[in-house]
Amino acid sequence: MSNDVVHYEQQGAVAVIRMDDGKANALSHSLIDQLVAAFDRAEKEATAVLLTGRPGKFCAGFDLRTMMAGVQQARELVTHGAEMYLRLYDFPAPVVLACSGHAMAGGAVMLLTADTRIGVEGDFKIGLNEVSIGMTLPLFVLELAQDRIAPKHRVAATIQATVYDPQTAVEVGYLDRVVAPDEFAAEALKLAERLAKLPTEPYGLTKRRMRAPIIERVQATLAEDMARLTPPQG
């Protein structure tokens, strides 16, 4: 599968899914649809997923052209994105995310959905900067942050819109480890291959039991929360 910006490659039991729009991997409706389709395919064909981006730029978050086009357009895009995040968060097989560079706003949210996150060393920015650009963080983001971000960093990472380098992002909870650029791709694939050997059904059921309360809260509050969402301040 090689539709525009999302590329799918099967490497043994691992589905390697790569986002690359030639720019910053902004989350448009098209990219979201293609990403969900890739995960749907992976659920049928693989026992683990490795998700990555283009070198230097993992994901810049929601497409600002759509976000600034109007309130309704912003609400529709973020709702679409929230559904995609839940798909990744609830995916029944192991999901390894190889953060290939900058991961801001919606890109940082994606880090919170994966099971294991490997970052690459470099001068990259990772964080939820929404408050700094005049946008209130949606409830689904706060739920994911509550689950994955270390308690002592939660206020700084969310309310105070702090942005981190990859090494600090490990301490905060966006990443689990950081490796050198020349080891990055091989280490991520090696980890995904190891996790692919775990029994699929127990893995998926255990993950669902652990994450079900958050998924249910997000689903119950999403429509009302999106009805209050306002785009960033231009």
Structural domain containing residue 42: 2-181
The predicted structure's pLDDT at residue 165: 98
Cβ within 8 Å of residue 137, ≥6 positions away: 128, 130, 131, 145, 158
User: Is residue 105 one of the residues assigned to a domain?
Assistant: yes
User: Is residue 93 one of the residues assigned to a domain?
Assistant: yes
Percent of the chain with pLDDT over 70: 98
Q: How far is CA 189 from the centre of its chain?
A: 18
The predicted structure's pLDDT at residue 234: 62
Number of structural domains (the chain) is 1
What average pLDDT score do residues 181-198 get? Answer: 98
Report the alpha-carbon distance of residue 97 to residue 20 in Å, rounded. 15
User: Is residue 82 one of the residues assigned to a domain?
Assistant: yes
User: Is residue 83 one of the residues assigned to a domain?
Assistant: yes
Q: How far is CA 211 from the centre of its chain?
A: 16
User: Is residue 49 one of the residues assigned to a domain?
Assistant: yes
The predicted structure's pLDDT at residue 130: 96
User: Is residue 228 one of the residues assigned to a domain?
Assistant: no
CATH number at residue 9: 3.90.226.10
Structure letter (DSSP) for residue 159 = T
User: Is residue 147 one of the residues assigned to a domain?
Assistant: yes
User: Is residue 89 one of the residues assigned to a domain?
Assistant: yes
For 137-165, write each residue's pLDDT tens digit. 999 999 999 999 999 999 999 999 999 99
Indicate the average pLDDT of the chain: 96
